Amino acid sequence: MLWLVFTTGFCNLRCDYCGGSFPSKVVPYTVRYDIEKLKRLVEADPQATVIFYGGEPLANPRFVEEFMDRVRARRYGVQTNGTLYRLLPDPYWKRMSVALLSIDGRESVTDRHRGRGVYRRVLEAARHLKSLGVETIARMAVTQDTDIYEDVMHLLGLGLFDKVHWQLDVVWSPRWDFEGWAERSYLPGVRRLVDLFISELRRGRVLKIIPILGVVSAHFFGGYPGSPCGAGYRSVAVSTDGRVLACPIAVYERWAELGTVDGGFRLMGPYLAKECASCPYRRYCGGRCLYASIERDWGEEGFTAVDRVTRAYLDAVLSIIPEVERLVKEGAVRLEDLRYDPTEDSTEVIP
Ligand code: SF4
Ligand code: SF4
């Protein structure tokens, strides 16, 4: 199971789609529970992947060290903005399997939303972490300034990221002309990336573009019973106040509270909204983001608008499945190389 462990609610940046720190009353800036109690829960899970989360998790590096010294997990990782990587000593980095670094693509796009100089600092972090043998994932927030093809190609071309993943700036921000932008820019760009994915596959190379690979994987390996991130059924978030949540964004929402570090917790199981239960895309999409599906911050119409774009993106990816099947059959690519489990990396697959 995936354990997203908050180290703090504080963040040293204020990226415009997120706004920065949580209020300390909601997600305290230091850890308030007894780590021994969390150790018992995590160590009872032989498949535990622990991903440090925040706020900016590296703003509390001593907790990361203490946790890694005391709590055994199969896999450790971090979701970080990349600017504070020096605060964690290298011996701890070397024990991490994966680092997800927030970067939106080209320098101008990244710095416009995250702050001047952030792009360069993230590249410096990626270079250092790769030199220590840590797998790196570029984690993009995609806005109307993004050219998805250009920005993904830029990140892949740097040679500093092993995988690329993105999330759309929908629902979290005020409503914008998302559909117009998707028609003009996003969906054509996604189709070009899908073309690239299949042409590389013909040469036996699997491009680790997670929104594509995760859907191809779902086709061959059974699909997602709920949100691909695993929220509430294969993944939990542990807040610094000791609450165990279904989703790390849902720090205010009662439906997301599964229990506490002190008292234990119960998984809620895979959730599917009524539209999703009968949807033909369900096994690939899993109802998308659990939080967005329950909260519907853009209203019903907004949910449907994002849904139309999601289906068009899924159609683009699914269009290559017959050829992927043929390539597997002919031995051009090993089926196992197409397997991707998002809960190993704490990615969401569906943007
Ligand atoms: S495509 Fe839309 S309706 Fe279908 S499973 Fe995904 S979110 Fe639900
Ligand atoms: S995809 Fe949605 S439900 Fe899953 S962790 Fe992210 S915000 Fe939470």
Task: Report the number of distinct structural domains present in the chain.
Answer: 1
Burial of residue 278 (CB within 10 Å: 0-12, 13-18, 19+) is exposed
**What is the 348 CA–ligand 2 centroid distance (Å)?**
7
Q: 168 forms bridges with which residues in the sheet?
A: 142
- Domain membership flag for residue 350: no
**What is the 240 CA–ligand 2 centroid distance (Å)?**
18
Q: Which atom of ligand 1 is nearest to the CA of 314?
A: 1
Ligand 1 site-directed mutation target among 229, 283, 285, most atoms within 8 Å of CB: 285
Residue 279 CB–ligand 1 contact under 6 Å: yes
Integer angstrom CA distances of residue 259 from 72, 246, 291: 22, 10, 18
Residue 153 CB–ligand 2 contact under 6 Å: no
**What is the 300 CA–ligand 1 centroid distance (Å)?**
13
Give the integer Cα–Cα distance in Å for 100 and 348: 12
* Domain extent at residue 209: 2-345
**Closest ligand to 223 CA?**
1
Ligand 2 site-directed mutation target among 79, 247, 258, most atoms within 8 Å of CB: 247
Read off the CATH number of the domain in which 324 is found. 3.20.20.70
Ligand 2 site-directed mutation target among 3, 233, 249, most atoms within 8 Å of CB: 249
Query: What's the DSSP call for residue 336?
Result: G
Number of H helices, E strands in the chain: 15, 10
Burial of residue 135 (CB within 10 Å: 0-12, 13-18, 19+) is middle
**Closest ligand to 215 CA?**
1
Which residue, by CA, sits nearest to atom 1 of ligand 2? 289
Residue 163: what pLDDT?
98
Give the integer Cα–Cα distance in Å for 236 and 2: 6
Q: 2 forms bridges with which residues in the sheet?
A: 49, 235
Query: What residue spans of the chain are helical by DSSP H?
Result: 35-43, 61-70, 90-95, 107-114, 118-131, 148-157, 178-181, 187-202, 210-221, 274-277, 282-285, 290-295, 299-318, 321-330, 342-345
Q: Which atom of ligand 2 is nearest to the CA of 289?
A: 2
Q: Which token pair is 207?
A: 């491009």
Instruction: Profile the chain (351 residues) by mean pLDDT over runs of 10 residues.
Output: 98 86 96 98 98 97 98 98 97 98 96 93 98 98 96 98 96 87 97 98 97 98 97 98 97 97 97 93 96 91 93 98 98 97 98 96
Residue 310 CB–ligand 1 contact under 6 Å: yes
Residue 4 CB–ligand 2 contact under 6 Å: no
**Closest ligand to 347 CA?**
2
CB 94 within 8 A of CB 102: no
- Domain membership flag for residue 351: no
Q: Which atom of ligand 1 is nearest to the CA of 286?
A: 5
Exposure of 291 in the CB half-sphere (CA atoms within 13 A): 17
Integer angstrom CA distances of residue 84 from 9, 87, 110: 15, 6, 17
Query: What's the DSSP call for residue 22?
Result: P
Residue 104 CB–ligand 2 contact under 6 Å: no
Q: Which atom of ligand 2 is nearest to the CA of 4?
A: 5
Give the integer Cα–Cα distance in Å for 255 and 232: 10
**Closest ligand to 256 CA?**
2
| Cα torsion through 307, 342, 225, 178, rounded to 10 | -10
Which residue, by CA, sits nearest to atom 3 of ligand 1? 276
- Cα four-point dihedral sign 242, 23, 67, 257: positive
Which residue, by CA, sits nearest to atom 3 of ligand 2? 290
- Domain membership flag for residue 184: yes
Residue 55: what pLDDT?
94
**What is the 291 CA–ligand 2 centroid distance (Å)?**
6
Number of Cβ within 10 Å of residue 25's Cβ equals 8
Q: Which atom of ligand 2 is nearest to the CA of 229?
A: 4
- Domain membership flag for residue 174: yes
Residue 233: what pLDDT?
98
- Domain membership flag for residue 310: yes
